[in-house]
Copies of this chain bind each other. A is one copy, B any other.
Amino acid sequence: MKIGREEHSATAISGSNAETIVVRGHDLVGDLIGRISFTDHVWLLVAGTLPSEAQRRVLDSTLVAIAEHGLVPSVVASRMTLAAAPEALQGAVAAGILGCGSVILGASADAGKLFDEILLERRNESADVDGAVREVVGRYRAVKRPIPGYGHPLHKGYDPRARRLIEVAREAGVAGAYVEIAEAVDRLLPDLTGRPLKMNVSGAIPAVLLDAGYPLLALKGVPILARTASLIGHLLEEQTRPVGFLMANAGAAAIHYDGAAPKGFTADEN
């Protein structure tokens, strides 16, 4: 049974024989191991060429910025999964990554698409940046689509990581059309929405990466990779100072049962 289309039958990422492993055209052993950083390698795997120093620095800064922010939901889910299934660290990492979805860490990729739409609008309509922002944000709001990359539950005034990332992009000399757009959205959004939403880390990441030449379709991978590093740190701590079950119990205890019950039954607190 042939499921799906079968138009392609090749990969351009890696080939090997008994002596040599080639990654994106480079000899892995002779040219890469011990000579390039992991961040260089990530860029090579994703974009197909080794990064410039500026590109590497921008990618490094985004990965450092988004990796760790304490006991966020994906970390909580991952640590309770390790508590329940300590035989499979990979399962706990996977459970954490599964929470990198549209509402939380997916915002980077969605904000990248928003900025790209604004850039297209700007080019197609010869609009100035503010006009293009108003037009595209208006379209989002007309269908009640949330504006990704702005607003944060803790960092309400502004997200210090976002500011710093823009600063790094300027220092590295890559800030361009996408940063300009992201800053225009930041400036106009309070007025357009009536709410004091400021650029958050998930808005700054696509702005600086797209300006640096990182592929739009691979944006979603950046927070996933960064979060994997955080999960590995948390899962090491979970092995030595476990809090997974305590967090699960505390989570359950915040919820009460309000369904039907046999006569005389009283539920314990969860």
Name A residues whose Cβ lies closer than 8 Å to a Cβ of B.
1-29, 32-34, 36-39, 41-42, 45-46, 57, 59-61, 63-65, 67-74, 76-77, 80-81, 83-95, 97-106, 153-157, 160-161, 163-165, 167-168, 171, 215, 217-218, 220-221, 224-226, 228-237, 239-262, 265-268, 270
A261 touches B85 (CB 8 A): no
Other A-B pairs beyond A2-B153, A3-B153, A15-B268, 12, CB < 8 Å: A1-B252, A2-B245, A15-B261, A18-B154, A22-B267, A34-B165, A37-B37, A45-B68, A73-B81, A80-B251, A87-B88, A92-B98
Chain B residues in 8 Å Cβ range of A87: 87-88, 101-102
Copies of this chain in its oligomeric complex: 4
What's the Cα separation between A254 and B26 when bound, in Å? 23
A214 to chain B, nearest CB (A): 11
Q: Which B-chain residue is minimally distant from A264 (CB atoms)?
A: B20
